[in-house]
Amino acid sequence: MQKKLVFFMAICCLSISLLIGGCNSMENKPTAAKTFPLKPITIIVPFSAGGGMDMVARSLEKVAPKYIGQPFVIVNKPGASGTIGWNELAGSNPDGYTLGITALDLLVQPLYGPTKYHYPTALEPLVQASTASIIMVVDAKAPWKNLAEFIAYSKEHPGELKFGHGSIGSPGHLTGETFASTASISLVQVPFRGGSEAATALLGKHIEIAFMSPASIKEHIKNGTLRALAVSSKQRLTDPDLAYIPTFKEQGLDIVLDSFYGVAAPKGLPPEVKSELEAAFKAIISDPEFKTNMDQLGMQVEYLDSKNSETQWVEDNKKFSKIITETGILERIKEQKK
Q: What is the CATH number of the domain that holds 151?
A: 3.40.190.10
C-alpha count within 13 angstroms, C-beta hemisphere, residue 33: 4
What's the pTM value of the predicted model, to 2 decimals? Answer: 0.81
Whole-angstrom distance, CA of residue 316 vs CA of residue 202: 30
CATH number (domain holding residue 294)? 3.40.190.150
Looking at the structure, do residues 87 and 179 belong to the same domain, yes or no?
A: no
Looking at the structure, do residues 63 and 110 belong to the same domain, yes or no?
A: yes
- Within a domain: residue 21? no
Q: How many domains, the chain? A: 2
Look at residues 232, 258, 284 and tell me which one is the last residue of a structural domain: 258
- Within a domain: residue 25? no
In terms of residue numbers, what domain contains 286? 41-131+260-325
Looking at the structure, do residues 140 and 246 belong to the same domain, yes or no?
A: yes
Looking at the structure, do residues 284 and 254 belong to the same domain, yes or no?
A: no
Looking at the structure, do residues 152 and 253 belong to the same domain, yes or no?
A: yes
Q: Collect all residues with Cβ–Cβ distance below 8 Å to 57 and sequence separation of at least 6.
A: 43, 45, 72, 74, 101
Q: Is 172 exposed, middle or buried (0-12, 13-18, 19+ CB in 10 A)?
A: buried
Looking at the structure, do residues 149 and 244 belong to the same domain, yes or no?
A: yes
| Strand arrangement of the beta sheet that strand 300-304 belongs to | 72-76, 41-45, 98-103, 258-266, 123-133, 300-304
Within its chain, how far is the Cα of 16 from the centroid? 62
How many Å is the Cα radius of gyration of the chain? 27
Looking at the structure, do residues 57 and 151 belong to the same domain, yes or no?
A: no
| Strand arrangement of the beta sheet that strand 188-191 belongs to | 188-191, 162-165, 209-212, 135-139, 226-231
User: Could you check whether the bond before residue 30 is cis, i.e. omega within 30 degrees of 0?
Assistant: no
- Within a domain: residue 335? no
DSSP state of 333: H
Q: Collect all residues with Cβ–Cβ distance below 8 Å to 160 and sequence separation of at least 6.
A: none
Whole-angstrom distance, CA of residue 41 vs CA of residue 96: 8
Exposure class string for 149-167: b at 16+ Cβ within 10 A, else e: ebbebbeeeeeebbbbbbb
Look at residues 228, 258, 288 and tell me which one is the last residue of a structural domain: 258
Looking at the structure, do residues 148 and 228 belong to the same domain, yes or no?
A: yes
| SS3 call for 164 | strand
Looking at the structure, do residues 250 and 274 belong to the same domain, yes or no?
A: no
Whole-angstrom distance, CA of residue 170 vs CA of residue 155: 25
Phi, then psi, of 165 in degrees rounded to 5: -160, 170
Look at residues 239, 258, 277 and tell me which one is the last residue of a structural domain: 258
Q: Are 301 and 290 in contact (CB under 8 A)?
A: yes
pLDDT of residue 324: 84
Under-70 pLDDT residues of the chain: 1-33
pLDDT of residue 33: 60
Whole-angstrom distance, CA of residue 151 vs CA of residue 206: 19
- Within a domain: residue 12? no
- Within a domain: residue 23? no
Beta bridge partners of 45: 76
Looking at the structure, do residues 119 and 266 belong to the same domain, yes or no?
A: yes
pLDDT of residue 262: 97
| SS3 call for 197 | helix
Cα 225–Cα 162–Cα 150 angle in degrees, nearest 5: 65
Whole-angstrom distance, CA of residue 206 vs CA of residue 190: 10
> How many angstroms separate the Cα of 245 from the Cα of each of 50, 181, 184, 237, 260?
22, 21, 22, 8, 20
Closest listed residue to residue 301, CA positions, set 134, 127, 131: 131
